[in-house]
Amino acid sequence: MPDRAAPVLDVKGLKTVFRTRGGEIHAVNDVSFHLERGELLGVVGESGSGKSVTMMSLIGLLPSPPAEIRSGSVMLGDLDLLKITPEQLRNVRGDKVGFIFQDPMTSLNPVFNIGFQIAEPLRRHMGMNKAQAKARAVELLELVGIPDAAKRLGDYPHQFSGGMRQRVMIAIALACDPDVLIADEPTTALDVTIQAQILELVKELRVKLGMAIIWITHDLGVIAAIADRVMVMYGGQIVEQAPVKDLFANPQHPYTRALLKTIPSLTGVREKRLQVIEGQPPIMTTAPSACAFRARCTHAFDRCEVENPKRHGIDRLPLGQGHDVACHWVAAPVSAETAHV
C-alpha cells in the first residue's frame, strides 16, 4: 500500500483546450490529482470524458495546435513537465514515464522487429550498447511472459497475437524502469481470457517492480479487479475520487451511482430492466459554469444550473486522500457530517 511520502506525480489545475474551426472544446477542466509511489490509480469515464486527454497532456503527447494547455502544473519529482523544454520532455518520456496504448497493433512500428523497438529506449535513455540492449530486451520479454524470448527478438509485430503484442508494449514501457506507467485502455482491444492474462501480469509486475500506475479504462470491472484508488471523470472534470472499495460500496456522485447500475451483473439477481442514463455526454464548448452532468442527472436542482460544483471531501480527510465528490446534491456539509457520525 502507498505510504504518505511525497507523491511521484502531482497534477494541479490542469486545463486543456482544443481550438478547432468550430470553436473551442474544453476537454480538461481544472483537473488536480496526485499519484503515490507504488499506487495503481484507476481513471474511469465514457469516451469524451477527458480521461485520455488528461494523461496525454501530462507528458506533452498532444499535437499543438489544436491542443493548448491553458494552465496548471505537473510535478514529476521537482520537475514541472509543463515548463521544461521539448528536449527535456523527450528525456522524461520512455525513461521516467512509460506508457501503454490501447491498440497494440497501431502503436508498434510494423517495419521494425520487436528487438529493435525494445532496444530503442534502452539505447536512447540508458546509453546501452547494442549487446547490452539486446540482453536487457530478452530479460524484459521473459519478464512479461513471452516464451522463447531470445528467438522472438527478430520477429515483427504481425507475427504476434494481440495479447502477445500487448505484452511487447508492456515490455517497451518497462524498459527503463519508469517511476510512472500510464496505461491507456491497455486491455480494451483484447478478449476477456487474454485480458485476464494481462491483468494478472500487471498485478505481478507491480509487486516485483514497485512502480506507480495510472490505468485508464471505461470498464468498471477492470478497475474493481486491480485499482487501489479510482477517479471518475465526466465532462473533463474529476467528479468523484475514492479508494476502490469505498467507491464501489458507497458511490456518491449521481453519475457514478447511475454508471454502476447500468451494468448488468454476472451473478446475483437478474434485473428485469436495465437502468439507463438518459441523454448524451456533453460537449464542452465553454469552460463549465454549471454542473456538466445536470442535464442527465435525476437529482439536479436550481443550484446545479448556475454553479459548477467543487470537489469536497465526505470523510474529513484532505482532498485526494479520502473520498471526495463534486456535486451540490451530496454537498450539504450537514448531511455529510451526520452521515459520518
Partner 1 sequence: MFDAATAPLVQVDGLKMYFPIYSGILRRHTGNVKAVDGVSFDIQAGETLGLVGESGCGKSTVGRALLRLYEPTAGAVVIEGEDIAKLTPEALRRKRPTMQMVFQDPQASLNPRMTLADIISEPLIEHTNWNADRRLERVYELMDAVGLNRRFANRFPHEFSGGQRQRIGIARALALNPKFIVCDEPIAALDVSIQAQVVNLLEDLQEKLGLTYLFISHDLSMVRHIADRVAVMYLGRIAELSPRDALFAKPLHPYAEALLSAVNEPDPSLARRPRIILKGDVPSPARPPKGCNFSTRCPKAFARCHEEKPELQEVEPGRHVACFLYASQTGSTGTLEAKEHIQQGEYK
Positions in the binding site for partner 1 (CB under 8 A):
46-47, 161, 163-164, 191-197, 199-200, 218-225, 244-245, 248, 258-260, 262-267, 270-271, 273-278, 280-281
Alpha-carbon distance 95 to 107, whole Å?
A: 18
- Residue number with CB closer to partner 1 (83 or 245): 245
Q: How far is the CB of 226 from partner 1 (least distance, A)?
A: 8
Q: How far is the CB of 244 from partner 1 (least distance, A)?
A: 5
- Which residues are CB-contacts of 290 (< 8 A; sequence separation ≥ 6)? 304, 305, 306, 307, 308
Amino acid sitting at position 316: R
Q: Least Å distance between CB 268 and partner 1?
A: 9
Decide if 101 contacts 184 (C-beta within 8 A): yes
Give the nearer residue to partner 1 in terms of CB position, either 78 or 278. 278
**Which is nearer to partner 1, 163 or 309 (by Cβ)?**
163
Closer residue to partner 1 in complex, CB, 75/252: 252
Nearer to partner 1, 63 or 264 (CB): 264
For the chain, where are the E strands, in sequence order?
Answer: 9-20, 23-35, 40-44, 67-76, 79-80, 97-100, 180-184, 212-217, 229-234, 237-243, 312-313, 324-325
Cβ-contact 223, 217 below 8 angstroms: yes
* Minimum separation from the CB atom of position 254 to partner 1 (A): 12
CB of 267 to partner 1, least distance (A): 7
